[in-house]
Amino acid sequence: MCSSQIVGNLEMSTQLHGALNSRAISTTPTPTTAKTIRKAYTSIYLFLHTHYLFCLLLILHIISFAVCEIIPTEILSRKEREELREEARDMFYHAYYAYMDNGYPADELMPLSCKGRYRGITPSRGDMDDVLGNFSMTLVDTLDTLVLLGDLSEFEISVKYVIRDVQFDNDIIVSVFETNIRMIGGLLSAHLLSEYLQKNVDIMPWYRGELLEMARDLGYRLLPAFNTTTGIPHARINLRYGMKDDQLKRSTETCTACAGTMLLEFAALSRLTGDPIFEARAHAAMDALWKLRHRGSDLMGTVLNVHSGDWVRRDSGVGAGIDSYYEYLFKSYILLGDDKYLARFNRHYNAVMKYVSDGPLFLDVLMHRPHAKSRNFMDALLAFWPGLQVLSGHLKPAVQTHEMLYQVMQMHNFIPEAFTMDFQIHWGQHHLRPEFIESTYFLYRATGDHHYLQVGKKVLKALQKYAKVPCGYAAVNDVRTGKHEDRMDSFVLSETFKYLYLLFTEPRDLLINLDEFIFTTEAHLLPLSLAQLGNTSYNFRQAEEHNIMDFMRTCPSSNKLFPEKVRQPLRNLVTGSCPRSPATKKLLAVDFQASNADHLRTVYDMGITMVSLGDGKVRLFHSFYNAKSPEDGEMGLMFMEEMIELTKMQSLNQLAQLQAVAYKKDGIKSNDWIALMAGPSHFGPELIEDNFVEGEVIIADPIRACGPVLKNAEKARAKIVIAERGDCTFVSKARVVQSAGALALIVCDNTPGSSGEFQPMFAMSGDGVNDVHIPVVFMFSQEFNKLSAAMHNKPEMQVRIMQMIEFKRWQMTKESKAKNDTITLKATESTEETTTSTSTTMHTTKKTKPDKEL
């Protein structure tokens, strides 16, 4: 097991320890002294003894990091911190009592209407209301925050309210994921804290585990969702009738985070109740998800089919739809002590930092084409990532991404729900989410840097100025206008104000030692001692092959290098007021264009020369001696490595993505097939491995299939339709053809003379809506002309659409079989001829022998 003990001098342990207690994460800041610095460098020396080259390069890179003029962080006095702590406490109570006085026992408070939000009574918001179950969610979600604030009397009263008023036998469809993290997590945390207070503070003598029994009851109500072919749970369930609902039976999709954020709560529920089924189901779901990763990139998509395991959305990032899956991989290792989750996390983390990360930015890519960006904006949920990086020991990138997010927040007062690469607003809402302040808290606990107290102060003042209303705190509908929205999610009390309060509070002032607990994704507290209650998981290293590096940590680093010098180059990332050298903007191989003069100058400075080979091809050569500086030379070497890997990936991807439109050469009875090259699409199902579509072909009417319907829709049913490029988007043509009941669509190019032989094949792009369920391929003009000629000679011709590499494999198998059959046939004929010849010779001998004797 890998210990990740984090202290103020940022000394990261890189050894694999077997002791269970070493998994506890200490976040107590240590003053930077000569002794601690010597200790840090002693650790570096010992580590370099076995990992010299890697660590040396890393440390040199950090030291040589280009910076603007360093501006010292203003130190917050103890008095100011206490004032901010009390202001955070007051903010919590302003929202809490607004809910209790005007909303309880509803699930949420509507702060503008100043009344509760009930499922089935308050006007529906569609899928957003799946979080509601008419089970007083905000109060349950908030119970452990009261303990951290030291308000034990209110905690005891609230626990009694929950036991008295909350019940789950409701004919309501709820989100399995949200019910787990908010309700089961809240009940378990409150139960554990009730027993803790009973034992250590001598209060609540009447408590007999009622909250745990409620959590067990709710857990059993969620279990039917796991009855799927893959073991991955359904996204929704009826609290009373389980999956016995026609609406639920038709729903087969869930998100990766929804399915992968069950284990902490379910494992705790099993270990506290002694019923192993909850933990077993959650482990099985995590195992099923791991098997669905893309084996080439180690990335995951965001939406999948719970029965087939097919990916519905292949976008891969760290934000919405996948965020807490990564979080629960690492935290499951910490809480349960199972190495397999550390190994899986590290594999995914390395893939994310390789393909998704672009410095401090994170843009979604396609899991099966990781060099292709799938969108040009980032969502607010990625703000949790720096906090997770802190816990896993990756401080430098955590500081960088957090700094980028802080600048976005300063630019717009809040971090908008989504923003573009140039930090403009994509979606303007702000729901008072906790992820940014959560990461701020963990960075402060790890570094002791008062910069993060200043960040927290900025967040606190923004909430007070732009979100506070007479009846609680209201979400912001648009950060540009400041218009409010009539919602205050339960996480505002359970997470946002909790982390804000903890940021300004000294650990010694809390009733409990947070180093003995782990926060769930909803900021509920689970004790690390749960690992001692038994573990139903198995030893991962015996179950699957992993490289030892999958279990490794990062190199140790001194507080002397973090985090101020890391933040400084990013200080004006958003505003651009601090001039940055072009050299600090890393040119990625995937972005390089030989026709771009700036790119050519950049690679020249890196010591790279380019020789044209004709046909649009170039050859690159790298030399450290030609580089403008040693740093440029190192960047050039990294660029060349990226280019080599990119070339390999592109070759493999092009081969894997290439489609074949095949038909029989001489008619229906022929066994000889001709395959024409075709390109794939980014929408619709992929024809991979031995999957194919076969049917009669027909030309669309109108030829470009851009009308609302096809004129020959009846004839197109159950056939493969051909349409010409132009007048509307590829995906629009697909929808029109699909509505006619066609099997597939072939789009032919409208540029005469185009051919896949000398033009790069491309994949047709969609519009982000996954409603196309038929395969769609693209053919250049010359390839289509061959198909058209064959169709002219053979009316009602059948074609087969499949992966080109699978067609080649299929043909080779047929040829090999035919060759073996021919050899067998020749061998049989040869045997027959030999037998005949021998028989004839023998007959002749028998005939002539008597003559000679005569």
Structure tokens at 655: 């081969």
Which of 279, 417, 642, 783 is the catalytic position?
417
Between the CA of residue 209 and those of 187, 192, 203, 421, 518, what are the distances in Å? 10, 9, 14, 50, 21
At residue 560, does pLDDT exceed 80? no
What's the pLDDT score for residue 453? 97
pLDDT of residue 548 exceeding 60, the answer is no
CATH 3.50.30.30 residue ranges of the chain are 657-813
Side chain identity at 421, as an amino acid letter? Answer: M
Kindly state the average pLDDT of the residues 289-315: 94
Residue the block writes with tokens 């949420």? 108
Q: Find, among 405, 411, 412, 464, the residue nearest to 437 by Cα.
A: 405
pLDDT exceeding 70 applies to what percent of the chain?
77
- What is the arithmetic mean of pLDDT over 523-539? 76
Tokens of residue 308, six digits:
């087939």
Summarised one tens digit per residue, pLDDT across range 595-628 is 677 888 888 888 888 777 655 567 788 887 778 8
Rounded CA separation 142/493 (Å): 6
Return the sign of the alpha-carbon dihedral for residues 250, 254, 259, 261: negative
**H or E element that contains 157:** helix 152-165
- Tokens standing for residue 587: 């040119």
Q: Give how far the C-alpha of residue 532 lies from the chain's centroid of Cα atoms, to the nearest Å.
A: 31
> Radius of gyration of the chain from Cα atoms?
32
Identify the pLDDT of residue 574: 67
CA dihedral 233, 236, 238, 242 (to 10 degrees): -20
Q: Is the pLDDT of residue 854 over 80?
A: no
CATH number for the domain running over 77-305+424-528: 1.50.10.10
612 or 314, greater pLDDT = 314
Q: Is 161 left (phi over 0), alpha (psi -120 to 50) or beta?
A: alpha
CB 764 within 8 A of CB 679: yes
Set 11, 108, 403, 435: catalytic member = 435
Do 693 and 718 touch, CB atoms closer than 8 A? no
Q: Is the pLDDT of residue 696 over 60?
A: yes
What span, in angstroms and rounded, lies between the C-alpha atoms of 748 and 737?
A: 14
DSSP H helical ranges for 703-753: 713-716, 730-739
Residues of the chain with CATH 1.50.10.10: 77-305+424-528
CB 567 within 8 A of CB 395: no
Q: Which residue has the higher pLDDT, 685 or 552?
A: 685
pLDDT of residue 586: 72
CA dist 726 and 442 (Å) reads 53
* Beta strand 365-366 pairing with 369-373: antiparallel
Q: How confident is the model at residue 636 (pLDDT cuts 50, 70, 90)?
A: confident
- What CATH topology corresponds to 657-813? Glucose Oxidase; domain 1 (3.50.30)
pLDDT in tens, 328-372: 999 999 999 999 999 999 999 999 999 999 999 999 999 999 998
pLDDT (average), residues 59-87: 66
- For the cut 90, the answer to whether the pLDDT of residue 92 exceeds it is yes
Q: What share of the chain is helix, strand, coil (3-state, %, to 5)?
A: 50, 15, 35
Q: Higher-confidence residue: 43 or 174?
A: 174
Does 105 score more than 90 pLDDT? yes
Work out the pLDDT band at 230, boundaries 50, 70, 90. Answer: very high
DSSP state of 82: H
Residues 6+ apart with CB under 8 A from 796: 696
Q: How far apart are CA 815 and CA 261, in angstroms?
A: 50
Active-site hit among 11, 107, 178, 632: 178
**Mean pLDDT score, 772-783:** 89
Residue 323 falls in the annotated catalytic set:
yes
More confident residue, 783 or 488: 488
Q: Name the band, by pLDDT with cuts 50, 70 and 90, for residue 764.
A: confident
User: In which band, very low, low, confident or very high, does the pLDDT at 23 lie, cut at 50, 70 and 90?
Assistant: very low
Could you give the maximum distance between any two Cα atoms of the chain, in Å?
Answer: 138
Q: Is 419 or 690 the better-scoring residue by pLDDT?
A: 419
Q: What is the average pLDDT across 754-770?
A: 74
Mark out the alpha helices in 606-719 (DSSP H runs): 630-657, 713-716
Active-site residue flag, 417: yes
Most confident listed range (359-368, 726-735, 791-800): 359-368
Tell me what the mean pLDDT of segment 73-85 comes to. 91
Instruction: Give 15's pLDDT tier (boundaries 50, 70, 90).
Output: very low
Please indicate whether residue 435 is annotated as part of the active site.
Answer: yes
Give the mean pLDDT of 439-462.
Answer: 96
Task: Note the pLDDT of residue 628.
Answer: 81
User: What mean pLDDT is predicted for residues 688-708?
Assistant: 86
Element (H, E) at 576: none
Candidate ranges 38-52, 212-226, 551-565, 693-707; pick with highest mean pLDDT: 212-226
Work out whether the CA dihedral 427, 429, 434, 436 comes out positive or negative. positive
pTM tops 0.95: no
pLDDT at 640: 84
Least confident of 6-10, 102-106, 735-739: 6-10
Question: Could you tell me which residues come within 8 angstroms of residue 566 by beta carbon, excluding any fewer than 6 positions away?
Answer: 62, 65, 396, 399, 400, 403
Which phi and psi angles does 51 have, rounded to 5°? Answer: -130, 45
In sequence order, what DSSP letters do the residues of 344-391 get, joined into one string? Answer: HHHHHHHHIIIIIEETTEE--EETTEEEEES-SEEEGGGGGHHHHHHH
Q: Which of these ranges, 5-14, 67-76, 678-687, has the smallest mean pLDDT?
A: 5-14
Is residue 821 very low, low, confident or very high in pLDDT (cuts 50, 70, 90)?
A: low
Q: What pLDDT does 39 receive?
A: 39
Q: 631: left (phi > 0), else alpha (psi -120 to 50), else beta?
A: alpha
Q: Which residues pair with 681 in a beta bridge?
A: 764
Catalytic residue among 141, 323, 403, 686: 323
Determine if residue 521 is labeled as part of a ligand binding site: yes
Note the pLDDT tens digit of each residue in 249-285: 788 999 999 999 999 999 999 999 999 999 999 999 9
